[in-house]
């Protein structure tokens, strides 16, 4: 069994499937996807539905996933919903009322963070940034889903996040996973590969910290 982490798939079904083939993902493995499965790409709902059906894939909440949940809550009154991406909205319109309700139920159960163990090490998984100890619920949500980690931030335990494309921290082409002390950013910009040179989908195997790219 191996433990893998990806983030910010943003509807990129094709490269997600390629990555699963590359890492030879099997039923005995575990995959954590740390937010933002939807928006920007053409197959957000298809990708989200696939992940929901897999027993060995765990999705964490991302800011775009939260926006989808909020949009679903107001689907029958579209003027009240702030849909980020018309492609995602068009996909949702193809769903039945029962399918939309099931999807909303699934999204409402997504964790904001997880601590997982692999290779003898504990890792804190979160979409955007850990919240400072003692943060209010509202402030913590802002950190978990929206806050970009400063390049000089330090953490007491290994943190793995996405949300911020690694181009924010480095000038490497193609983009690669960025590490600084206990912080690792794995969002290599697959959603922006048409406009950001070197954008790709990254995957990290936690057992040995091996990196994979497609």
Average pLDDT of the residues in 175-185 = 97
Q: Is 197 within 8 Å of 15 (Cβ atoms)?
A: no
Predicted pLDDT of residue 76:
80
Stated pTM of the model: 0.95
What is the residue-averaged pLDDT of the chain? 95
Domain 3-213, CATH: 3.60.21.10
pLDDT digits (tens, 9 = 90+) for 51-66: 999 999 999 999 999 9
Question: Which ranges in the chain belong to alpha helices (H)?
Answer: 13-22, 44-52, 63-73, 86-93, 97-108, 137-145
Q: Is 177 within 8 Å of 185 (Cβ atoms)?
A: yes
CA 75 to chain centre: 23
pLDDT digits (tens, 9 = 90+) for 128-165: 999 999 999 999 999 999 999 999 999 999 999 999 99
Q: Is 187 within 8 Å of 164 (Cβ atoms)?
A: yes
Average pLDDT of the residues in 89-111 = 96
Q: Is 9 within 8 Å of 16 (Cβ atoms)?
A: yes
Average pLDDT of the residues in 24-49 = 97
Higher pLDDT, 189 or 197: 189
CA atoms within 13 A on the CB side of 197: 4
Give dist(CA 33, CA 91) in Å, integer: 21
Predicted pLDDT of residue 79:
66
Domain range list for the chain: 3-213
Predicted pLDDT of residue 183:
98
């Amino acid at each position: 069994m191996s433990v893998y982490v990806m983030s910010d798939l943003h509807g990129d079904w094709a490269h997600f499937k390629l990555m699963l083939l590359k890492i030879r993902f099997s039923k005995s493995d575990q995959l954590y996807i740390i937010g933002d499965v939807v928006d920007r790409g053409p197959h957000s709902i298809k990708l989200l539905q696939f992940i929901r059906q897999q027993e060995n894939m765990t999705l964490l909440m991302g800011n775009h996933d939260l926006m989808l949940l909020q949009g679903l809550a107001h689907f029958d009154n579209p003027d009240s919903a702030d849909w980020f991406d018309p492609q995602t909205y068009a996909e949702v319109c193809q769903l039945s009322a029962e399918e939309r309700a099931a999807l909303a139920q699934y999204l409402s159960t997504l964790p904001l963070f997880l601590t997982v163990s692999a290779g003898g090490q504990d890792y804190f998984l979160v979409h955007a940034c850990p919240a400072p100890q003692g943060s209010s619920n509202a402030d913590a949500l802002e950190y978990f889903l929206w806050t970009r980690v400063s390049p000089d931030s330090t953490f007491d335990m290994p943190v793995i996040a996405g949300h911020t494309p690694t181009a924010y921290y480095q000038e490497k082409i193609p983009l690669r996973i960025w590490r600084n002390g206990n912080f690792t950013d794995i969002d290599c910009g697959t959603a922006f590969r048409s406009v950001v040179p070197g954008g790709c989908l990254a995957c990290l195997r936690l057992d040995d910290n091996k990196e994979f790219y497609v």
